[in-house]
Amino acid sequence: MRENEDAKGDVEIVGRILDGETDAFASLLSKYGDYVAGIVKRHVPYEEIADTAHEVFVRAYESLPTFKGTGGFQPWLASIAVRTCFDYWRARYRSREVPLSALTERHREWLENALSGEAVGMCSENESRKEGKEILDWALNRLPAEERMVLELVYLQEYSVKEAAALLGWTAANVKVRSFRARRKLRVLLSRMSERGERQ
């Protein structure tokens, strides 16, 4: 009931903005600012969250005439946020600005512990989580932007293929294929790391 009222309120605000009341956008910004930051945080480096979220809202404002109001404003905005993150990575890969960090012996141990089931307990500790995050960043930075996004959405955030496809604006078949490839590459990367304790 509350959600329905919220959705109606959003549609009304969008209508006012489209009628020329630009300042009404500030209420959408206050309402969904942290929601968008939460989505963006999962996909881009921490120091890029503010700029990327800024871009999301500018794109949302520019796309308001295409908002139909049927699915609700929040999912529509989530889709713009995910696509903006995808564009962020595409631009980074194009300009070859993706940081390729090195891993240490500690990371390899973390992976071995995770595989043996020990890391589940360890992961409650911040330090251990940080190591796990560094391993993930290391692996994700070695995947193409498309596979990176799909892996994050489907494997790490547990979206269904259909949901991920809607967020990215791709077909479900495309997401399925890329998800399969991304997981295979992740396996290869982690295997390589585990075997050699890769140092770069």
Partner 1 sequence: MKITEEDLKRIRETLRDAYGSGDAASLGGAWRAEVMDRIRRLPSRETPAAFGEQFYRIAWRLVPAACILILILGITLFTVEFFPEYDLAKQFIEHPTAYTVARLLGIEV
Which residues of the chain form contacts with partner 1 (CB under 8 A)?
18, 20, 22-23, 25-26, 29-30, 33-34, 37-38, 40-42, 46, 49-50, 53-54, 57-58, 61-62, 65, 111-112, 114-115, 117, 119-120, 123, 126, 128-133, 135-136, 152, 155-158, 183, 186-187, 190-191, 194-195
CB of 87 to partner 1, least distance (A): 17
> Which lies closer to partner 1 via its Cβ, residue 131 or residue 146?
131
Assign 3-class secondary structure to the chain: CHHHHHHHHHHHHHHHHHCCCHHHHHHHHHHHHHHHHHHHHHHCCHHHHHHHHHHHHHHHHHHHHHCCCCCCHHHHHHHHHHHHHHHHHHHHHHCCCCCCCCCCHHHHHHHHHHHHCCHHHHCCCHHHHHHHHHHHHHHHCCCCHHHHHHHHHHHHCCCCHHHHHHHHCCCHHHHHHHHHHHHHHHHHHHHHHHHHCCCC
- Please identify, using beta-carbon distances, which residue of 151 and 168 lies nearer to partner 1: 151
Would you say 58 or 173 has its CB closer to partner 1? 58
Q: How far is the CB of 74 from partner 1 (least distance, A)?
A: 17
Q: Are 117 and 154 in contact (CB under 8 A)?
A: no
Q: Provide the minimum distance between the beta carbon of 72 and partner 1 in the complex, in angstroms, as a whole number.
A: 21
Is the Cβ of residue 136 or residue 177 nearer to partner 1 in the bound state? 136
Q: In the complex, what is the shortest distance from the CB of residue 192 to partner 1, in angstroms, rounded to a whole number?
A: 9
User: Least Å distance between CB 185 and partner 1?
Assistant: 11
